[in-house]
């Protein structure tokens, strides 16, 4: 009788341990559901000091770089924020920045003029736009489950490093939000190929004449 009770007690302890290891409600079943690529809002903005003589060469170069980044990563308006006040030099600097951005390729309808409350009337003029950036998780701070476990769930922390590396290497974080739109198809060449196919003609381009001792005709 005592042997039977000991056996039943051991079985109960074993089942209890299995139940506790399987009741991990806060852990998803797969690393893909625990770690996924995400984006967060960001701001690409530069501050330009106000000069009586207008924009300096360094400021013009910085605005060209900003316009290039806006063409690659920007969406929405590019804001030029002038410090609030009645300082005419600051106002002229703001309009000079708008002109420089337009000359660098930013559409004029995308440039938005605004004002902000600065420490004084000659505070820097701000120019920038909202963007998105990939979320790179600090995997060293993630929870771990070292040692053996008796469930089919993946260990906590599995998949964090892979997702963080992908997020750090993606050139355009907007690709995480969805696929880019395809450019319109150029069907002119394909129409020529189909027309030749229907007529029984050769569909490929004419081969280059081979010259003895050469692979093909050189490009001039």
Confirm whether 75 is domain-assigned. Answer: yes
Provide the residue range defining the domain that includes 97.
43-131
Confirm whether 96 is domain-assigned. Answer: yes
- The count of domains in the chain is 1
The enclosing domain of 112 has a CATH number of: 3.30.1330.60
Question: pLDDT tens track of the chain, all 220 residues?
Answer: 444 444 444 444 444 444 444 444 555 566 677 788 888 888 899 999 998 888 999 999 999 999 999 998 877 899 999 998 888 999 999 999 999 999 999 999 999 999 998 788 779 999 999 988 888 888 888 877 666 667 777 777 788 888 899 998 988 888 888 887 787 877 888 888 888 889 988 888 777 666 565 555 555 5
* pLDDT recorded at residue 15: 43
* pLDDT recorded at residue 70: 92
User: What is the C-alpha separation between 98 and 127, in angstroms, rounded?
Assistant: 9
Q: Is 90 buried (19+), middle (13-18) or exposed (0-12) by CB count in 10 A? A: buried
Confirm whether 4 is domain-assigned. Answer: no
């Amino acid at each position: 009788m005592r042997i039977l009770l000991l056996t039943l007690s051991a079985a109960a302890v074993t089942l209890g341990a299995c139940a506790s290891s399987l009741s991990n409600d806060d852990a998803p079943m797969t690393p893909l559901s625990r770690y996924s690529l995400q984006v967060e809002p960001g701001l690409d903005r530069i501050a330009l000091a106000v000069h009586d003589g207008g924009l300096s060469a360094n400021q013009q170069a910085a605005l060209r770089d900003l316009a290039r980044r806006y063409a690659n990563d920007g969406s929405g308006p590019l804001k030029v924020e002038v410090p609030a006040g009645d300082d005419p030099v600051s106002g002229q600097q703001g309009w000079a920045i708008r002109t420089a951005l337009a000359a660098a390729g930013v559409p004029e309808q995308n440039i938005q003029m605004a004002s902000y409350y600065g420490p004084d009337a000659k505070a820097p003029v701000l120019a920038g736009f909202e963007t998105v950036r990939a979320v790179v998780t600090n995997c060293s701070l993630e929870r771990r489950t070292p040692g053996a476990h008796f469930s089919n769930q993946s260990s906590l922390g599995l998949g964090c490093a892979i997702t963080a590396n992908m997020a750090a290497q993606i050139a355009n974080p907007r690709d995480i939000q969805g696929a880019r739109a395809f450019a319109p198809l150029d069907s002119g060449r394909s129409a020529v190929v189909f027309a030749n196919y229907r007529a029984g003609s050769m569909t490929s381009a004419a081969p280059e004449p081979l010259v003895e001792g050469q692979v093909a005709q050189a490009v001039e």
